[in-house]
């Protein structure tokens, strides 16, 4: 393999690492709903991690589940920024979005990455020219990560002893068991080993501790038991929300007095929230009674 091929291969490997393993991360500093091209709405909660896969003048391209949407820069604050610089190793040019040459680049010239594309980067030259440059003509020379602490207003969780649950029997036991887990870490796919995801908390309480054979996912849980109206909610009922834009994707245990306990991906822990909060009020889907 000649030097040019080896160089191109090295560039591709480095760029694949950059593209798939070193994305910017951020935190949503405000609730946000974004409509996809197919008409579905994707919801983001204050404090939720933003998985940023690209950036442009229009905003950040954020991934949630299988959906990718562009959200305004003002809704997200970066917590980790990766800055990459490249050196031109083959004669090439910098082009605009219409694939028109802005100017030719010289070998050895350094470029700063603005965002990553498919086989190219949006780059800025030392004299301020911005445009697209083929990755095959570049060599990654440096990569620096900077972290910034983001403070968002968190919901205060009251101590469990301050809750007066107006229920008895297994319904009260279910709420009490869930409240015992307040502050536990949100861990996707977990039912109590290291933490809980939303349906994992329900599964842990109802199946593992009360012996009630519930399905594992929130979508399936929403079909289990007796359907009850929102106006007829009682402590111990399961309440379901559409937070992804694709049907039921979140669940909590109703406590009474308009409050529910749940494992929040946005707050990264088990918390108590009010059903009247705009985020949950507008995303409420249904409720079931299994006790």
Question: Active-site residues: which are they?
Answer: 198, 250, 262
CB contact set of 25 (below 8 Å; sequence gap of 6+): 49, 50, 51, 52, 78, 79, 80
Nearest to 205 by CA among 240, 175, 164, 241: 175
d(CA 117, CA 43): 25
Helix H or strand E encompassing 238: strand 238-241
Q: For residues 102 and 111, what is the distance between their CA atoms, to the nearest angstrom?
A: 14
Q: Which residues pair with 260 in a beta bridge?
A: 254, 273
Q: How far is CA 140 from CA 108, 146, 245, in A?
A: 12, 18, 38
């Amino acid at each position: 393999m000649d030097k040019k091929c080896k160089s191109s291969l090295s560039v591709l490997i480095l760029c694949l690492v950059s593209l798939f393993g070193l994305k910017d991360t951020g935190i949503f500093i405000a609730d946000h709903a974004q409509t996809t091209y197919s008409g579905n709405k994707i919801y983001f909660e204050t404090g939720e991690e933003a998985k940023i896969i690209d950036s442009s003048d229009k905003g950040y391209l954020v991934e949630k589940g299988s959906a990718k949407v562009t959200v305004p820069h003002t809704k997200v604050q970066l917590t980790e920024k990766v800055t990459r610089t490249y050196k031109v190793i083959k004669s090439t040019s910098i082009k605009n979005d219409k694939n028109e040459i802005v100017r030719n680049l010289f070998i050895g010239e350094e470029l700063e990455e603005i965002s990553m594309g498919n086989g190219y980067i949006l780059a800025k030259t030392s004299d301020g020219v911005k445009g697209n440059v083929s990755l095959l003509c570049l060599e990654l020379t440096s990569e620096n990560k900077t972290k910034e602490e983001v403070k968002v207003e968190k919901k205060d969780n009251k101590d469990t002893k301050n809750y007066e649950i107006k229920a008895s029997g297994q319904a009260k036991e279910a709420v009490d068991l869930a409240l015992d887990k307040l502050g536990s870490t949100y861990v996707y796919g977990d039912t109590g080993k290291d933490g809980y995801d939303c349906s994992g908390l329900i599964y842990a309480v109802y199946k593992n501790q009360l012996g009630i054979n519930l399905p594992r996912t929130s979508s399936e849980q929403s079909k289990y038991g007796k359907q009850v109206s929102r106006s007829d909610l009682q402590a111990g009922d399961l309440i379901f929300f559409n937070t992804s834009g694709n049907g039921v994707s979140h669940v909590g245990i109703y406590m009474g007095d308009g409050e529910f306990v749940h494992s929040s991906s946005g707050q990264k822990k088990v918390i108590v929230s009010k059903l009247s909060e705009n985020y949950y009020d507008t995303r409420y889907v249904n409720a079931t009674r299994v006790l």
